[in-house]
């Protein structure tokens, strides 16, 4: 009887042990699957960033080549005129960004993601209209200046007027693929452009026609070549479907968002580009060339930041549109830490290799400016961290805080930048850039804190 009673006990024990083993195995399998999912997600993000970084590097590679070759082969005055004209392009591209790119990015990745093709066609038409208006405006200004002051040779501005539509359309084409989470296609476009620009520079130098005018033509033709190979990949969908029939109040919503970004575009010029005009007014075009030559060596880090922005802004917009506050905050934290780490490494690299790199690129023409390069290398850290809050505020559809930040920065440009440039020259402009960037970052931190407080209240009530 004792044995008969022991048997079921032993069987129960075996079943219990077996069940425990199966539970442990299932738990282990679950851990493996979770770890595998994490690794797959991490690999996907790394791959997306790699494509985005490659795109940004390739996209500005043509402009970088143009700057370096102009600085090496042309007079400082000629290069200075190109720098001023490119500053005009930066300002106008800010207006274009406000009117087209930024609303398209926020709404295309967010509230209109289910009607993407129809929305894209609307934005393509808008892109052509805005590009034509800006080109006409520049042609008028260049004609008036050429007639009134022919001795100043505004050929760089004329080159910009003829090609600004192509330059802006290239930016729009790349943004389409970022909103679609396809940075590889954007990188392919930029690679095609870079090859075309490099070939154009080589031909122009051999033909002895390379100058500030032909430089803009080469950049424009580079983007035209890239578009010719990529436009067929646009997801335009059913051409019979009309977005405005589905969303008749769209332009009202568009303006509600874009008005703040448009206002920001007008004051953005004062934060960094405004210093070129201060130097031109208070010093000379030659000093503009010197400031530009230093800034060009710091600018490459901006392309990493822009690549990250193109990846994070649509994702932040999506999390905000779907009300996922926790993922929104977590993603921004990752974004900010990545920016700070990258900019710190970049500042160290500039300190180590900045002087020999400057000597190599400019053939010793700007060697005396290397101390300023070390100082300016800290600007990306300030501006980059500020930009993480900038993008978070935009994704949260609070662009007015970004506008206020640029107003603060512009005020510092006038209050501190003018006396600094007047008394210290190019060195004063570098100090002014750091001060303006710092005020921009602090003002954004105030707006971002306000948004975080509101999100915190929403989390507590949900």
Cα separation of 443 and 239, whole Å?
44
- What confidence category does residue 2 fall into, taking pLDDT thresholds of 50, 70 and 90? very low
122-146 b/e with 16+ CB inside 10 Å = b? Answer: bbbebbeebbeebbeebbeebeeee
Q: What is the DSSP string of 145-171?
A: HHHH-GGG--HHHHHHHHHHHHHHHHH
Q: Is 234 helix (H, G, I), strand (E, B) or coil?
A: coil
State residue 460's pLDDT score: 66
In whole angstroms, how far apart are CA 397 and each of 6, 316, 450? Answer: 71, 11, 13
Higher pLDDT, 179 or 65: 65
- What mean pLDDT do residues 419-443 have? 93
pLDDT for residue 201 is more than 90: yes
Higher pLDDT, 271 or 95: 95
Q: For 151-169, what is each residue's pLDDT tens digit? A: 555 788 899 999 999 999 9
Res 272: pLDDT: 75
Judge whether residue 183 has pLDDT over 90: no
pLDDT cut 70: percent of the chain above it = 86
How many other CB atoms sit within 10 Å of the CB of residue 352? 9
Q: Which residue ranges make up each domain of the chain?
A: 51-248, 267-462
Higher pLDDT, 415 or 115: 415
- What mean pLDDT is predicted for residues 26-31? 50
Residue 462 pLDDT class (50, 70, 90 cuts): low
Comparison of pLDDT for 248 and 219, the residue scoring more? 219
> pTM for the full model?
0.66
User: What's the chain's length in residues?
Assistant: 462
Q: In this predicted model, what pLDDT tens digit does every residue of 54-106 receive, in sequence order? A: 887 888 888 889 988 998 888 888 888 888 888 889 888 888 887 888 888 87
Q: What is the average per-residue pLDDT within 431-451?
A: 91
Grade residue 122 by pLDDT with cuts at 50, 70 and 90. Answer: confident
What is the reported pLDDT for 432? 93
Q: Which of these ranges, 20-29, 77-86, 242-251, 401-410, has the smallest mean pLDDT? A: 20-29
Tens of pLDDT, residues 328-356: 888 888 889 988 998 999 999 999 998 99
From the centroid of its chain, how far is CA 367? 29
Residues 33, 164: contact at Cβ < 8 Å? no
């Amino acid at each position: 009887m004792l044995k008969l009673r022991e048997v079921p006990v032993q069987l129960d024990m075996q079943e219990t042990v077996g069940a425990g083993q199966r539970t442990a195995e299932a738990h282990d399998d679950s851990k493996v699957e979770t770890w595998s999912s994490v690794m797959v997600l991490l690999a996907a993000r790394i791959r997306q960033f790699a494509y985005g970084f490659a795109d940004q590097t390739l996209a500005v590679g043509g402009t970088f080549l143009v700057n370096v070759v102009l600085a090496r082969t042309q007079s400082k005055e000629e290069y200075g005129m190109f720098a001023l004209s490119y500053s005009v392009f930066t300002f106008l591209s800010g207006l274009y960004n406000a009117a087209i790119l930024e609303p398209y990015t926020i709404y295309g990745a967010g509230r209109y993601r289910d009607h993407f093709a129809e929305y894209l066609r609307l934005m393509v038409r808008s892109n052509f209209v805005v590009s034509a208006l800006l080109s006409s405006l520049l042609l008028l200004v260049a004609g008036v200046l050429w007639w009134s002051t022919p001795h100043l040779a505004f050929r760089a501005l004329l080159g910009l007027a003829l090609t600004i539509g192509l330059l802006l359309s290239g930016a729009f084409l790349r943004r389409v693929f970022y909103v679609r989470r396809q940075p590889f296609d954007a990188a392919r476009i930029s690679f095609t452009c870079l090859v075309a620009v490099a070939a154009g520079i080589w031909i122009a130098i051999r033909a002895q026609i390379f100058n500030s005018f032909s430089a803009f033509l080469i950049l424009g033709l580079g983007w035209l070549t890239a578009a010719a190979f990529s436009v067929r990949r646009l997801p335009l969908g059913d051409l019979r479907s009309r977005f405005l029939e589905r969303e008749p109040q769209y332009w009202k919503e568009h303006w509600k968002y874009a008005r703040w970004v448009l206002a920001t575009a007008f004051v953005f010029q004062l934060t960094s580009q405004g210093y070129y005009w201060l130097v031109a007014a208070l010093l000379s075009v030659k000093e503009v060339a010197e400031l530009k030559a230093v800034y060009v060596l710091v600018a490459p880090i901006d392309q990493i930041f822009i690549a990250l922005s193109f990846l994070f802004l649509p994702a932040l917009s999506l999390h905000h549109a779907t009300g996922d506050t926790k993922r929104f905050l977590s993603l921004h934290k990752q974004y900010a830490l990545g920016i700070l780490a990258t900019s710190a490494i970049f500042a160290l690299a500039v300190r180590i290799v900045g002087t020999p790199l400057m000597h190599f690129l400019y053939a010793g023409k700007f060697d005396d400016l290397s101390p300023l390069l070390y100082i300016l290398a800290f600007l990306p850290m300030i501006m980059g961290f500020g930009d993480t809050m900038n993008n978070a505020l935009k994704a949260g559809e609070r662009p007015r805080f970004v506008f206020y930040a640029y107003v603060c920065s512009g005020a510092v440009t006038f209050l501190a930048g003018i006396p600094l440039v007047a008394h210290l020259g190019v060195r004063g402009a570098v100090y002014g850039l750091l001060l303006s960037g710092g005020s921009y970052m602090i003002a954004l931190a105030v707006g971002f804190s306000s948004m975080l407080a509101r999100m915190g209240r929403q989390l507590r009530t949900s």
